Amino acid sequence: SKLHPLTGRCVLGSAGCKTDVDQLRSVLDIKMKVYAHNHRKPMATPSVAQMLGNTLYYKRFFPYYSFNVLAGIDSEGKGAVYSYDAIGSFERTPFSASGSGQSFLIPLMDNVISHKNRLDERRDLPAEEVVEIVKDAFLTAGERDIYTGDAVDIMVITKDGIDKQTFQLKAD
C-alpha cells in the first residue's frame, strides 16, 4: 500500500521508488518509537510533519526518491494535510496528491474542495461525501493515466482512529 499509518491520527502517503519509500518508512517508524518511548505519548501531527521534513532534508545530497503527503488531525481536532518535495520542503495545504495521477486529481480537488472559480456557496463536506469525491477523482485518473493502479486505499482519520477501505478502480 502507498499509505502507512505513523500514529493513530496520522498517515503517510508516498509515491516514488518503492525501496526508498520502504527505507523512509522504516526510519520514521524507528523515530516514532523512540519518541513514544521517551515521551510516553504518540507524536502530534504537526510534529510528525516537521520530523518528516527534517528527515528528508538530512538526505538532501542523496535524497530518497519519494514524494510524500502527510495527513492527520492537529491539536485543535482539525484535519491537517502536508505536501512534501523530495528534499523536505513542505507546506500545509487543504489537500494534496502525489504520483502519476497528480495532474488529474489536483484540478478536480481545486474545484470541488477549494471552490476555486465557483460562484455557488461553499459548504462543509461530511466525511462520507469526501470519500465519494476521492473515489470519483481516482476513477477519473485511472481512466486517463495507465500508471494509476487497479485499486485505491482510502483512510479516513478521526479522533477515534483510522478507518481503512479499499475501492476497486478497474474491473477488467
Handedness of CA 102, 104, 107, 108 (dihedral sign): negative
pTM, full prediction: 0.89
Q: Across the beta sheet with 3-7, what order do the strands follow?
A: 3-7, 10-16, 66-73, 79-84, 90-93
**Is the distance from CB of 10 to CB of 36 less than 8 angstroms?**
no
Distance from C-alpha of 97 to C-alpha of 116, rounded to nearest angstrom: 17
Exposure on the CB side of residue 84, measured as CA atoms within 13 A: 28
CA 80 – CA 168 distance, rounded (Å): 26
Q: What is the pLDDT along the chain (172 residues), one digit of tens a residue?
A: 899 999 999 999 999 999 999 999 999 999 999 999 999 999 999 999 999 999 999 999 999 999 999 999 998 989 999 999 999 999 999 999 988 888 888 988 888 888 888 888 888 888 899 899 889 888 888 888 778 888 889 999 998 889 999 998 877 6
